[in-house]
Structure 1
Amino acid sequence: MDDWWLNAVWSLTPTVLVGLFFWMVLRLILRADRTERRVYQEIEREERAKAGLPVAEEPRPGA
């Protein structure tokens, strides 16, 4: 019976590790995209203020 559990763990380990790696990569990509959009909005807001144009209102969180 001990061999059965050991085989089960060894069988599931690669799947779990690949799943965790995939989740981590997607999380990093989504966070980088969110940060890039935030920085771009700040730059755009500053440039509009310099040009004397109306500054677009900041979007609500979750909208």
Structure 2
Amino acid sequence: MQDLFNTVWPYVAALIPSVGVLWLFAVVMKHIVEGDRRERAALAEWDADQGARDSAAAQPHSERDAESDPVG
């Protein structure tokens, strides 16, 4: 058993830093992707609000123009 431990441990010790860096990379990428998703959702919500404001602002003008138009 001791011989197996002495034989395998150097390989395991050599892989630990690589596994740690891989884990760190995965965590960072996960946060980047989640942040991007939240930012895109917030931007879509902002665009929808701006579109609603623009259409609400344009609506009274078009109604006013239709009411004041003597031909229409």
**TM-score between both structures, scaled by the size of structure 1:** 0.76
Q: CA RMSD in A?
A: 1.3
| More helix as a share of residues | 2
Which consecutive unaligned segments of at least 5 residues does structure 2 have?
A: 57-72
Q: Displacement of 1:11 after TM fit?
A: 0.8
- 1:28 matched to 2:28: no
- Please say which structure displays the higher CA radius of gyration: 2
Q: Which has the higher contact order (CA 8 A, sep 6+)?
A: 1
- 1:44 matched to 2:47: yes
- Superposition misfits of 4+ residues, deviation over 3 angstroms: none
Q: Partners in 1 of 2:40 and 2:28 — Cα distance?
A: 18
User: What number of residue pairs does the alignment pair up?
Assistant: 53
Using the TM superposition, name which of 4-13 and 31-40 deviates more.
Answer: 4-13
Which consecutive unaligned segments of at least 5 residues does structure 1 have?
A: 54-63
